[in-house]
Chain A
């Protein structure tokens, strides 16, 4: 028997338990997508729930106003996702800068400290930002008025000017150090001989970085980029929820927040399921088309 298995089959057999595992934990529950087509009633068996066809899909776009809202929400989602993706090069640069630091103590210190914001929940981030930016006694307003830069305090949090950029900057502050860890690992994986060879060729520090470090990081960067693009409509909502107020809502409401505001907040599982389905479909479509593009442009597919 043993002999009968060729190497390709043997390898497949070795991963098959994990395939089954992933199927059970990730794909089996998708049977629950059925809830999108019924009026969901917890505790009843699925057969007892009234079948309503596409009612919940239509609920998304049932009026002119709603279509406008959805479009605006999509614009916010895509806009901020795009800025996020555009800034995804920063952790890579940060990792290189860190790597180029000469003092190893300072390097460790900066690396450790830069991951700290990742551990502060968005609720607390808002509390901190508010403490600094509030009109009433906020430090920033106090300093600016005292220095005469502004004549009257400004309510920064209420302004929707450059909101996407402000949100992106906050996201960078919170995630930069943490995301850089992956690149630091990749730098450490770069073969030392490459540097030596470059040095022998007379490459200075800068050229070594450009011709050895950067290319060494590219595979990781591209993979993460692809994953991020497929995730473009999954922004999460924590950050946007806490910074959302009446003045900023129009520019900050992303798809996840919108779903929360309209469906989840009132416990509507059928509606929430519809959104899950749509998001899954869009993400997978993006993932595989980006992959195809990568194949034709870079000559190699990632997945």
Chain B
């Protein structure tokens, strides 16, 4: 607590921030699927009606998933003012990585609404008797109570009470249209130069990457071109990027409610696999990356570069393959419009064995929650705001805001981007629309999705996530995108292709309780995870098979010595509950 003597801002903070972020990103990445927000009540009337007369309500939101602090102003602020006559202020839990939840909770000072990113803190708030039972306010919250599955889920856990409302809810499970992170992106023009070779399985990307590097040792701007570039900054209990590879084979580390540190689960085949068991996909992934290293194809900075450094490489296009697919098509391509106009750049490239694990939208909601505190100063205003957020209209505006600013409905009533909507996120919004910058969204400032963003909103017929709007995909397509579409039978994005080719292992999230390690096991899990993470990277950088194997053996015996089995048992039990649930 002592103020930090000589540090400049930035010191501790960022670092922790990254960890926190990681979680957020993980959430977002793993789950383009679980994404929240749009939606619907049959009666959009409930949402559209304005707050009417009376004084403007002031409501504060304590959020665990964003870092903005202050009033919600700009065009989004105007939206809430117009719709529910409310001024919203935001208090982030984490400032530079220091969580304020525990200290604030010790005096109950947590604002009117809370966005929880997990059950741990939610449980603590319940223990402290801070939360309001929403079932007593059913009349004021019709937009929440229309999500029967989600309500039933919390009632089951809290003895018929609704102590919190799951985030990212929807009314039916559908396959999202977002590209899975795990389908890698590669230089598409180089791929075509090679004659668009068939790729047997994930491991075969290595040969293609090798050939690409042989043909193009440097990038257009003269930087070195590697076969594979990785980064380690977001790792917590394993080499995160390599761990996600199993998702391309139908396995996942996240069932939509619970995340697994030490096992992968196969939601459809109801199997589990310990990350470091003999022959596991994770071990194969390490071996695969090690193969790049031994051929001199791995970016040597992989273990040491930060996410910032990694992004710089992405924008320069320094890797033939990006494990997180979006790193290529969504980072390099927009930064190099001249190349994409010439048909050059990164596109997602699937393989013959691809079976991408992909959670469908969840009627039970995600593992994030909204809750109302008993200390809410203006309870009516608070409930009115929450109800609006869960309306079709409120949910749809999570990222895109109110109708008429970034989007409008076309003649068929389908949302399309306005000119403003097509601009860069730093674009200014005219004062008569509310002002501020385009990026001042509810998503960036509060990040508490109410409706699932991937779920087609009943009122607007399409998902809130503009990146899957047909209008966006077609009007925004570069020569490169058009070429890819032409080569792939008219598919607009990879997801469409995967569905068509039956390469998607879409699974329904289920109504399982959120579990967490108890405090003591958590300490053990962190230690085991640290060991696995460190050995994984050493294995990636191993100089020969013998070293690789002996490191692997050391990793296994060390992890077991620290208590891996206890953690695995715990996670397998969680997985079994998931498999058994209907």
A residues near B (Cβ < 8 Å) are 39, 41-44, 55, 59, 62-66, 69, 118-124, 126-127, 130, 134-137, 153, 155, 157-158, 178, 238, 241-242, 245-247, 249-250, 261-263, 265-271
Contacts and interface: CB of A to CB of B under 8 A. Distances in A.
Q: How large is the interface on B (under 10, 10 to 19, 20 to 34, 35 or more residues)?
A: 35 or more
Given A42-B124, A63-B561, 10 more contacts: A43-B127, A55-B520, A63-B563, A65-B527, A123-B10, A123-B11, A246-B303, A266-B519, A266-B526, A268-B522
B561 A65 contact: yes
A65 B526 CA distance: 13
B35 to A, nearest CB: 25
B108 interface: yes
A66 B562 contact: yes
A124 B523 CA distance: 30
B523 A262 contact: yes
Interface string B66-102: 0000000000000000000000000000000001011
B293 to A, nearest CB: 11
A41 B124 contact: yes
A120 B523 CA distance: 32
A66 B129 CA distance: 37
A155 B293 CA distance: 13
Contact of B299 (A42, A63, A136): A136
Contacts of A119: 6, 8
What is the interface of chain B mostly: helix, strand, loop, or mixed? helix
A59 B103 CA distance: 24
Contacts of B523: 59, 262-263, 266, 268, 271
Contact of A64 (B8, B304, B520, B561): B561
Contacts of A135: 299-301
A62 B386 CA distance: 47
Interface in B102-125: 102-103, 105-106, 108, 120, 124-125
Contact of B537 (A43, A247, A268): A247
A44 B309 contact: no
Interface string B313-325: 1000010000000
Nearest to A262: B526
Contacts, number: 142
Given A55-B520, A247-B303, A127 B308 contact: yes
B527 A262 contact: yes
Given A120-B8, A136-B299, A271-B519, A127 B306 contact: yes
Contacts of A127: 306, 308
Given A119-B6, A155-B301, A262-B527, A238 B15 contact: yes
B530 interface: yes
Nearest to A141: B300
Nearest to B308: A127
A135 B229 CA distance: 12
A80 B563 CA distance: 29
Contact of A266 (B12, B103, B522, B534): B522
Closest CB pairs A-B (n = 8): A43-B128, A246-B537, A65-B561, A121-B11, A135-B300, A157-B304, A121-B10, A42-B105
